[in-house]
Amino acid sequence: MSGLAGLVKNGRVVPHTVVVAHERQVAALKSVDPRVRAVLTADPCLDRITASATHRHRYRRAFDADGRRMVLLCSTWGPHSLFGTDPRLAERLVSSLPADEYRVAMTLHPNVWQRHGPLQVRAWLRQASTAGLALVPPGHDWRQAMVAADVVISDHGSLTSYAAAAGKPVLLAADGGPEVVAPPLSRLLASLPRLPPDGLLDTVPTPVAASTVATIFHRPGTAAATMNTLFYRIMDLPLPDPRPAEPIPLGEVELSDPTHYRTTVRDASTSATDARLTIRRTTARDGDPGGSLSAADTTPDIALLESASAIWADFPFHSRESATAHIRSLLSRLPGARLATAKTPDGTVVAALRDGSLISATTTTTLSATTAALHWWSTQAGRPRRIEVDAGAASGGVEPR
């Protein structure tokens, strides 16, 4: 109430009009001074999120989430926030969820970036980013991530309310503790399921009931008309023709591809010439004992590189000869690797095996997934001529020759 009291100074109401998002706020303003003029309107931010739903595919493409379920982590600031209570949650999720089936993204409150500085925040998130976390940079719009998301993991910040109102399934990672005092928010938080301690997302929750959201937002979809009427009346200008809320423009996203994968073969069916390989890839350091570790030659983690059974060269080569020389040098320097791969200028993959042989392969999937498929192929007694890889967003065909 002390904050509301600042609306009146020396007996004079300071603002011309106060725009509020719910009728209960009108009563709160009038309790300070009955002269305070209030206009009840919808939330323009929510209206633009809703208006952007038609363009959802564009936002998902910006996050490289095509073919994957996108999980958005939203954190407000302070010790009771998602990031404040569990700063390694993003790292655990991005490294444990199947990388070809999930895209994990994160947006942080501006105060997190301001208080700790971008250098420190990125240092805390370095392992998560290396494992494939998509990060909304400081000062950039978080709303495109909200539209693109399939499920939101959040806390007591305002983005939880927006996610619920936008019809997104929401899991609560932190409830805000003593910082939550507003009854509508506390009711919303109480209705949300908690993120399991192990972070598994086998069961996605259902969206929040509309009646719960209605206690926070007033008449979604009407903000533009109401606020335009108010602003043009204040300026004493004729009201222009009404326009609907505009979609959110595409913003910047910090994307990084993982530099290592733990690959587990879930199923392999083979014939005389063909094979169908179903694999699950995570960026966990440890995993199924039957799995194999592959890594890019650019990975900063030397321990991972030296323990990987397959290596891929993570940069383009100007000729097949230079690619071949490089992958053979990788095998000589990394005796634990069974094979190393690189992509030639024409898009063909060349692979050097530990036994000294050299093969080529055409592929319709990523170099990292091709490397995993060729590693499996190299262990087979009867090596098929074509491998159909079932790996979520990284699915495709590989033909060694």
pLDDT tens for residues 24-34?
Answer: 788 888 888 88
pTM, entire model: 0.89
Q: Report which of residues 364 and 246 the model is more confident about.
A: 364
Average pLDDT rounded to a whole number, residues 123-128: 95
Residues 72 and 208 in one domain: yes
Helices (H) and strands (E) in the chain, counts: 17, 18
pLDDT value of position 8:
85
Per-residue confidence (pLDDT) for residue 178, from 0 to 100 = 86
CATH number of domain containing 104: 3.40.50.2000
Give the model's pLDDT for residue 288. 64
40-44, 197-201, 297-301: range with highest mean pLDDT: 297-301
The pLDDT tens digits for 312-358 are: 998 889 999 999 999 999 999 999 999 999 999 999 999 999 999 99
In a domain, 192, yes or no: yes
The answer to whether residues 265 and 371 belong to one domain is yes
Whether 144 is in a domain gets the answer yes
Please check whether residue 114 lies inside any domain of the structure: yes
- The C-alpha atoms of residue 295 and residue 367 are separated, in whole angstroms, by 11
Check whether residue 71 and residue 36 sit in a common domain: no
Where does 166-206 have alpha helices with state H? 183-191
Phi, psi at residue 226, to the nearest 5°?
A: -65, -45
The CA-based angle 49-50-51, given to 5 degrees, is 90
Count: domains in the chain: 3
Mean pLDDT of the chain: 91
Rounded mean pLDDT, 285-300: 84
What is the tens place of the pLDDT at every residue in 211-247?
A: 888 888 877 777 778 888 888 989 999 988 877 888 9
Looking at the structure, tell me whether residues 24 and 99 fall in a common domain: no
Residue 45 within a domain:
no
Show the tokens assigned to 269: 């069916």
Phi, psi angle pair for 281, to nearest 5°: -115, 130
By residue range, what is the domain housing residue 188?
Answer: 53-213
- 93 phi and psi angles, rounded to 5 deg: -65, -50
Task: Report, as an integer, the average pLDDT of 105-111.
Answer: 98
Both tokens of 289, joined, read 């004992």
Confidence of residue 3 (pLDDT cuts 50, 70, 90): low
In a domain, 191, yes or no: yes
- 57 and 206 share one domain: yes
